[in-house]
Chain A
Amino acid sequence: MHTSHAENEANYLKYKGKYKGLLGWILSTDHKRIGLLYLYSIATMFSVGALLGLAMKFELLAPGKTIMDAQTYNATFTVHGVIMIFMIVIPGLPAVFGNFLLPIMLGAKDVAFPKLNLLSWWLYVAGVFLVLSALLFGPGTPDTGWTFYAPYSFKTGTNLLPAVFGAFVLGFSSILTGLNFLVTIHRLRCPGLKWTKLPLFVWTIYGTAWIQLLATPVVGITLVLIALERIFGVGVFDPALGGDPILYQHLFWIYSHPAVYIMILPAMGAISEIIPTFSQKHIFGYKAIIASTMAIAFVGWLVWGHHMYTAGMSGTAQYYFSLLTFIVAIPSAIKVFNWISTLYKGSINVQTPFYWAISFIFVFMIGGLSGLVLGSLATNIYVHDTAFVVAHFHYIVFGGTGFSFFAAMHYWFPKIFGRMYDKAWANIGWLVFFIGFLALYSPMFYLGMMGMPRRYYDYLEEFHGGNILSTFGSWIMVTGLIIIITNLVRSARRGPKAEMNPWHGKTLEWTVTSPPPLENFDEIPVIAEDDGPYNYK
């Protein structure tokens, strides 16, 4: 399309506005700069979370005390969970790639409310600092687990309130981002870009945004109730005050289960972009994938009770939640079938993002299929709250979101930074990471089936073997992570200049220069009747 952008207008990385240097970034309302602000903040927090995870695995290398005492271990898994869930996987793909790409994919100059968008990032940062303050000040690091289950969360002497308030502020960041994206998708599509011509990544952001907007307030309310109870002694959840601890679990999971779909939907969206591009082929079952996205966003609301089969709900509730949990598995399966069918008779260019994408499908299948064991009542009773569950959700949340995040990172990297990374090192990084990932989490399935409960600082001798393998896996995975991040950081500054469309993609972001100009398009593009995000020849 237009190749002369770079000469007419500075790209968004080089642009100099009212403020210079750091201020030019943290006060910028440009959706692309905000996307990168999220990327850097999330990457920083991810390093902290990963180090905590590494420390936990090291502690579990042998029974008894290895490197830390029980209190430290309990605080470590709590902070690891809070950081990874609330600061990384929930904002994750929507905040980074949604912000960067959504307006460009829609043919728009920015999101609908750029200032609100900047406010969301500021709220995110404020939330992060509030949670971190809980670590550094006060009577002790929170040790309740990221679920803050009552009544333990009311009894512990540790510094829970700042962490809870931080999660509350992070929730607002999420709500505002969702609202912003919804309005943007409804109002700012360029001429000719019908709903049936939207890239699937946009569709998944759309489904996610609804969940962010509607589910997050529930956790906000819950967290406020915790604060009321802790400060004023209002008995809502604590049985000692006449409250009901199971009510807390309901409220918590009404949000936190849909939150899993906040994490996974955009991850599926990114994969739905990468597979067609590298196969040079129209996505298989475009409408089926949209329907399954919206089905997940809708049915995902109604299954939270499967976290509570052993909590003591009524039999009818158990029955209902189990049935719907199985139903919600189907749209995910439909997506997998469509991705694999897209490969059929394609012309596949096997590059780093593609390796990440197919390994995503593999780990996502393991995560999803192990979810069937957990959705079924009798087998859930057996492995609930064991290492099996830990393995399952790391396969989904880290395997799913993480692999997709890296796929997206390697796919859009040349667009974002205008430079290409070292492909050989990127592939090596992927392979090492993939092997480490399997070695780290697979033994946990076995440990869970042996009966090892989760959140265990110490364990009996019979669980030793599986834990050794898992700890080794964590070292391999971190090695892969170091290779990947070093390669990307180095290439963002010194990599060879990237072309405008290195992978021959069809979505709109590939029609603007790399990196994109400040306002994305000189003229708002017009989508012709026979154009489409996957119309390969």
Chain B
Amino acid sequence: MYSSEVTQASNFVQGVDRAFLIIMGISFLFLIGLTVVMLVFVYKYNKKRNPKPTQIEGSVKLELLWTIVPFVLTLLMFYLGWAEWKPMSKPPKDAMEVTVYGRMWNFSFEYENGRRTDTLYLPKDKPVKLNLVAMDVLHSLYIPAFRVKQDMVPGKKDNFMWFEPQKEGEYELFCAEYCGLQHSYMYTFVKVLEDSTFTNWLTDTTMVASAADVESPTATGRRIMQSIGCFACHSIDGSKLVGPSFKGIWGEEQTVVTGGEKRQITVDEEYIRRSIYDPNADVADGFNKGLMLSYEGQLSDDDINNIIEYLKTLK
């Protein structure tokens, strides 16, 4: 359905697609059958061909027939949908766990060893349980190729989904619940790797370093900002998004609104630190309060120092 290539991309594909095909099949049968009967009647009993109508008020037998047959069919369809859905709510105990953070407007993934990414890397043929954490509003994690979707509800305990990727490849992962301005840009990819490649990737710290080139503070800062999604709202090229652009921001004089009053500040280390830990204290003039959440507890002092080094380079 989605594409023949990715059939069996997860353990749920076959069951869901079978239910889909059976329901669609029955539906098409009824749609085509009834439409044809209707058109035949319209033609055959046109007043030119049938000037005198025959009055028929109804038939109990027919009413029973077309109540019972759809009843049985709908029960069948209900059962199919239920039977294929049931396992989705029961993750195996040995499933690998990944915590997914959803915020306006990006996903980030945290593995059991503390590694964080903005792309979901997964091993093939191993069940995985995603623990879903919504930081601000509702989001919904949707991987069409795997036939899975689960809303991410802020404050909800036991918010999870599970599946078992069964084919190597790269798949789209969308946010399916409307979450504001950049909703349609809140997507990323799932990369399914061979188990051994995945294990290497997960544990090999040198790969992290090489991926980030020479791990200078600037590059580290950029990598951190990428993985926590700063650029969804702040551009680096001067264009205005939801938040002010980072271009040329270091050392600038800026007007901010503090407690309803405007004042001038200089963008320095202290201001940046405050903007990350307490984003609604000084809001850049012309932007809305309440959109950004505090990153306290998620970013260390070192992380912020690296971010500042990177911001300095954005002249």
Interface positions of A (Cβ within 8 A of B): 70-71, 74, 143-145, 149, 151-152, 155-157, 239-240, 244-246, 279-282, 284-288, 310-312, 315, 318-319, 322-323, 326-327, 329-330, 333-334, 336-338, 340-341, 343-350, 358, 361-362, 365-366, 369-370, 372-373, 375-382, 384-386, 449-451, 453-460, 536-537
Bound-state CA distance A370–B30 (Å) is: 12
**Which of B47, B58, B176 interacts with A284 by CB under 8 Å?**
B58
Q: Known contacts A245-B138, A284-B58, A361-B34; can you find 6 more A-B pairs with CB under 8 A?
A: A245-B155, A281-B56, A318-B85, A344-B45, A376-B77, A378-B16
Nearest CB in chain A: distance from B291 CB, A: 7
- Residues in B with CB closer than 8 Å to A455 are 178, 183-184
Bound-state CA distance A279–B52 (Å) is: 10
Bound-state CA distance A315–B149 (Å) is: 15
Majority DSSP secondary structure for residues of A touching B: helix
**Which of A74, A240, A372 interacts with B27 by CB under 8 Å?**
A372
Nearest CB in chain B: distance from A161 CB, A: 16
B19, B23, B140: which has the most chain A beta carbons within 10 Å?
B23
Report the 3 A-B pairs with minimum CB-CB distance, sorted nearest first.
A451-B144, A376-B81, A239-B155
Q: Mark B92-111, 1 if CB is under 8 A from A, else 0.
A: 00000000000000000000
> In the bound complex, do residue B84 and residue A377 qualify as a contact, i.e. CB atoms below 8 Å apart?
yes
Specify the chain B residue showing the minimal Cβ separation from A381: B149
Is B305 on the interface with A (CB-CB < 8 A)?
Answer: no
In the complex with contacts A312-B156, A381-B88, A345-B56 CB distance below 8 A: yes
Specify the chain A residue showing the minimal Cβ separation from B30: A369
Bound-state CA distance A373–B17 (Å) is: 11
**Which of B47, B62, B154 interacts with A347 by CB under 8 Å?**
B47
> In the bound complex, do residue B35 and residue A362 qualify as a contact, i.e. CB atoms below 8 Å apart?
yes
Nearest CB in chain A: distance from B87 CB, A: 9
Report the number of A-B residue pairs with Cβ-Cβ less than 8 Å.
Answer: 264
Bound-state CA distance A70–B182 (Å) is: 7
- Residues in A with CB closer than 8 Å to B45 are 279, 343-348
> In the bound complex, do residue B38 and residue A456 qualify as a contact, i.e. CB atoms below 8 Å apart?
no
List 6 A-B residue pairs with CB atoms under 8 Å apart, sorted by A's residue number: A284-B56, A326-B77, A336-B34, A337-B62, A361-B34, A375-B81
> In the bound complex, do residue B84 and residue A378 qualify as a contact, i.e. CB atoms below 8 Å apart?
yes
- Residues in B with CB closer than 8 Å to A155 are 136-137, 180, 290-291
Nearest CB in chain B: distance from A433 CB, A: 18
Specify the chain B residue showing the minimal Cβ separation from A380: B81
Bound-state CA distance A176–B148 (Å) is: 43
> In the bound complex, do residue B38 and residue A330 qualify as a contact, i.e. CB atoms below 8 Å apart?
no
- Residues in B with CB closer than 8 Å to A341 are 56, 62
Bound-state CA distance A385–B144 (Å) is: 11
Nearest CB in chain B: distance from A138 CB, A: 13
Is B159 on the interface with A (CB-CB < 8 A)?
Answer: yes
Nearest CB in chain B: distance from A462 CB, A: 9
Nearest CB in chain A: distance from B210 CB, A: 29
- Residues in B with CB closer than 8 Å to A451 are 2, 142, 144-145, 172, 174
Is B20 on the interface with A (CB-CB < 8 A)?
Answer: yes
Nearest CB in chain A: distance from B187 CB, A: 8
- Residues in A with CB closer than 8 Å to B84 are 377-379
- Residues in A with CB closer than 8 Å to B154 are 151, 239-240, 245
> In the bound complex, do residue A386 and residue B176 qualify as a contact, i.e. CB atoms below 8 Å apart?
yes
Bound-state CA distance A376–B24 (Å) is: 11
Is B205 on the interface with A (CB-CB < 8 A)?
Answer: no
Residues 55 to 81 of chain B near chain A (Cβ within 8 Å): 55-59, 62-63, 66-67, 70-71, 74-75, 77-78, 80-81
> In the bound complex, do residue B31 and residue A282 qualify as a contact, i.e. CB atoms below 8 Å apart?
no
**Which of B24, B46, B59 interacts with A373 by CB under 8 Å?**
B24
Nearest CB in chain A: distance from B138 CB, A: 6
